[in-house]
Each structure stands twice: as C-alpha cells, then as structure tokens.
C-alpha cells in the first residue's frame, strides 16, 4: 500500500475512485442500453425526463432508494441480505487489478518541512504480478453471489435460476480458461502491464528466420490469435449471463431467475454486479487482444514531451499523460460494452441443452485445437530460425 501516509492515502483514494467509477458507469450503461434497444427496435426509449431522457436514471435511483423494504418470512434472512453484497465483490476486485493507464510519477516535494520522496502510482487499485490468474479466480466467485441469492430466496424459480447460472458459468469457464493459453504462450507473462508493453509498435514477427514488419498494423494480440479472441469473447458473454446466454433469467420459464424475490436497491446491486462483470470482460478483451491503453503509433513519451514543452511541471505532465491514455482505454472499453448491448438486442436466446453443447462440445475442443496449433507453430518457428 505504501511507506508513508501520503502514499497510503493516495492509494486508498485511487482504489475508492476506481470502484466508484465502476458503480457510476452502471446508470450510464443502463441508459445506453435502454436508448440503444429502443432505436434497434424502432422505438424512442426514455426521452421525457430531462434532455434525451438522461435524468431518467436519477429518477429510477430515487425510486429504488425509497421503496418499501419487505422481506418474505420464508427466506433465509442473513443470506438474503448478504447475496447482493457478495455479488458486488468479484467485479470490483477484478476491475481493480486491470491497469487502466500508465503509472504516473510524482516528483519529490516539501510538505510541513519534510521532503516527500518521489512516488510512482499505478493507474489501478493494486498491482498483481499474477494478473490474469487472479482475475479468473476472483470472477468465478461471482457464482457464489447468485447461488446464495437463489438458495436464500426459497423459491423454485430462484433456485433453478441460480443453478442454471452457476452451471453455465462453470461450463464456460473451461473454454474461457483454455482460450487464453495460446496468447499466454506468446506473451510469456501473467502480468497485464507486461502484456500491454508487448503490444506496442507496429506488427512484428519472425517468419522462416526473417524478421517481418507490417508498418500499418499495430502489434495487437488479435493479429496473433484471432480464434482465441473470438472464443474468449463468446465465453465472456456466457460468463456475464448476458443474451444470447441469459438462460438464468429466461423470463418465460423462470420469471427473473435468481433475483425473483428481490426488489429495490437489493436487485439493483445484482445489476451493478452484472455490469461490473461486463466491464471486466471488456477490459480483459482490450488488454489481451486490443493493445490495452496503447494508442497505435503514438508513444507515451511523445505526449509527455509535448506537455513538458507546453510548460507543465513534471508531475502534472506525467499525470496528464496517464489520463490521456486512460481515455484511450476507456474508449476501447465503451466500444466493447456497446457490442455487449448490441448483441443482446440482436440475437435470440439459446435453449439450455444448446448452450451446454456449445460450451462443452464446441468451444472447448476449438480452444484445445487453438492451443495445440499455437504450441506447434511457436515451436517450429523458434526452432528453425
């Protein structure tokens, strides 16, 4: 966390800020989802409250807060309250461990007559050298929130929603885990920052002993592992329980799935968890296959030098550079979040046996094949060069 009070407090503030960013993005995404779905279906969507219906979500939030807090007596009380809180944790922890931008440096300065030494702050809640393993481990804990909610509700719809959700989540976790083995072989690291550093510059690879460079393409993972990227993206949809894999909340069969008995803010917390999961999925896609916070053909040093030449101090220039690259990552994140929403309103829902077949009999063998082919190709290219 840090060595003195300044570093510890900045790290704590950063952590809280990233968590609140995640929570605050949810109303914005709900608005985009409602407006976007309306335009896809040739409707207007919310457009009465405020400009473009933007304050609709504020009105919804007030309604959530002032709703009657009724708990049916047949539920398991403690677990019933604990489940929404549990569903918040995995998204927050996983999102916190993904680097959102370059680390920024603070020069030494004087405070109360003491010299506070130069600092380096990562643009993420905490730096993990096992990055992806941590994210996979934490995000699979999301199943506990759903199972607890279903079990505590003592309602057949909730129980079956929770069971379906967890069975679907663990089935697709296999394909998810296996689809990134190929790209891990290429990067040779678990650390997100190292992966992003690998993806700088133009596309460069060794082909039959000679170095090839394609100057107009960035060195992104998608060009090395297009199949892996596709498999990861499909598995991510199932992991987040989004359409076309939203079987746990198939309303014709299961009412609302595991949160049938929930209402008001407690139900809203499940939504924050789901959208948090979507943000983690988008951030993972960006970090693995789309260069993370890299802007193609623009070096961070160039921006830093321009800012220094414009008369900013070293600390401010470093901070502004980090913020610029944060905006790059944020743009990529929003593109993926929009694809999540777009697909939901385009594709119909699968049947449950089709869903399990897709996970176990199609995605898993394809991911296996991808791993084997990648290993053999890397071996041949490295040995005969």
Partner 1 sequence: MTSLVAVLILTLFVIAFGAGLLYLVSLVGPKPKFSSLKDASYECGLPAQETGHSKIPVKFYLTAILFILFDIEIIFMYPWAISFVDFIENDMGLHVLLSMGFFLFVFIFGLIWEIKSRALEWE
User: Cβ-count burial of 331 within 10 angstroms (0-12 exposed, 13-18 middle, 19+ buried)?
Assistant: exposed
**Beta strands 210-218 and 202-207, pairing class:** antiparallel
Residue 301 beta carbon to partner 1: minimum distance, rounded to whole angstroms: 27
Residue 249 beta carbon to partner 1: minimum distance, rounded to whole angstroms: 14
The residue among 307 and 364 lying less far from partner 1, judged by its C-beta, is 364
Residue 374's contacts (CB-CB under 8 Å, 6 or more residues apart) are 181, 182, 185, 186, 225, 228
The residue among 16 and 108 lying less far from partner 1, judged by its C-beta, is 16
The residue among 260 and 304 lying less far from partner 1, judged by its C-beta, is 260
Residue 157's contacts (CB-CB under 8 Å, 6 or more residues apart) are 254, 255, 256, 257, 260
The residue among 262 and 293 lying less far from partner 1, judged by its C-beta, is 262
CA 343/CA 250 separation, integer angstroms: 16
CA 4/CA 166 separation, integer angstroms: 43
CA 364/CA 370 separation, integer angstroms: 10
Residue 220 beta carbon to partner 1: minimum distance, rounded to whole angstroms: 19
Residue 136 beta carbon to partner 1: minimum distance, rounded to whole angstroms: 9
The residue among 43 and 63 lying less far from partner 1, judged by its C-beta, is 63
The residue among 107 and 357 lying less far from partner 1, judged by its C-beta, is 357
Dihedral pair phi/psi, residue 206, rounded to 5°: -100, 125
Residue 303 beta carbon to partner 1: minimum distance, rounded to whole angstroms: 28
Instruction: List helix spans (H) across 140-263.
Output: 142-153, 156-179, 181-187, 192-198, 226-239, 251-254
Residue 347 beta carbon to partner 1: minimum distance, rounded to whole angstroms: 20
The CA–CA distances, whole Å, from 88 to 59, 94, 146, 225, 269 equal 22, 11, 11, 32, 7
The residue among 32 and 141 lying less far from partner 1, judged by its C-beta, is 141
Instruction: State the DSSP code for 127.
Output: -
Residue 64 beta carbon to partner 1: minimum distance, rounded to whole angstroms: 8
């Amino acid at each position: 966390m840090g060595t003195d009070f300044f570093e510890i407090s900045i790290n704590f503030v950063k952590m809280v800020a990233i968590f609140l960013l995640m929570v605050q993005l949810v109303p914005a995404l709900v608005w985009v989802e409602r407006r976007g779905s309306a335009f896809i279906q040739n409707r207007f969507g919310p457009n009465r409250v405020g400009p473009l219906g933007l304050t609709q979500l504020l009105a919804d939030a007030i309604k959530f807060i002032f709703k009657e807090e009724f708990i049916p007596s047949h539920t398991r009380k403690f677990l019933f309250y604990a489940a929404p809180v549990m569903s918040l944790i995995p998204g927050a922890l996983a999102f916190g461990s993904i680097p959102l931008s370059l680390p920024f440096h603070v020069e030494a300065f004087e405070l109360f007559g003491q010299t506070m030494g130069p600092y380096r702050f990562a643009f993420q809640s905490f730096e993990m050298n096992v990055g992806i393993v941590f994210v996979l481990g934490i995000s699979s804990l999301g199943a506990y929130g759903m199972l607890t909610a279903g079990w505590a509700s003592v309602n057949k719809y909730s129980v079956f929603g929770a069971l379906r959700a967890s069975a679907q989540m663990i089935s697709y976790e296999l394909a998810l885990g296996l689809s990134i083995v190929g790209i891990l072989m290429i990067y040779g690291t678990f650390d997100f920052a190292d992966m992003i550093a690998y993806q700088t510059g133009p596309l460069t690879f060794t082909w039959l002993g000679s170095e090839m460079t394609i100057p107009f393409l960035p060195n992104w993972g998608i060009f090395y592992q297009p199949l892996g990227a596709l498999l990861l993206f499909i598995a991510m949809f199932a992991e987040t329980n989004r359409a076309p894999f939203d079987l746990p909340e198939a309303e014709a069969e299961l009412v609302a799935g595991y949160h049938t008995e929930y209402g008001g803010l407690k139900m809203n917390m499940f939504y924050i968890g789901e959208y948090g999961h979507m943000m983690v999925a988008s951030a993972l896609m960006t970090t693995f296959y789309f260069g993370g916070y890299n802007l193609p053909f623009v070096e961070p040093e160039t921006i830093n030098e321009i800012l220094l030449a414009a008369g900013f101090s070293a600390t401010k220039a470093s901070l502004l550079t980090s913020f610029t690259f944060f905006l790059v990552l944020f743009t990529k994140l929003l593109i993926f979040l929009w694809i999540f929403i777009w697909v939901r309103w385009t594709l119909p829902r699968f049947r449950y046996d089709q869903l399990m077949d897709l996970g176990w009999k199609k995605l898993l063998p394809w991911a296996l094949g991808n791993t084997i082919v990648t290993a053999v190709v890397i071996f041949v290219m490295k040995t005969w060069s």
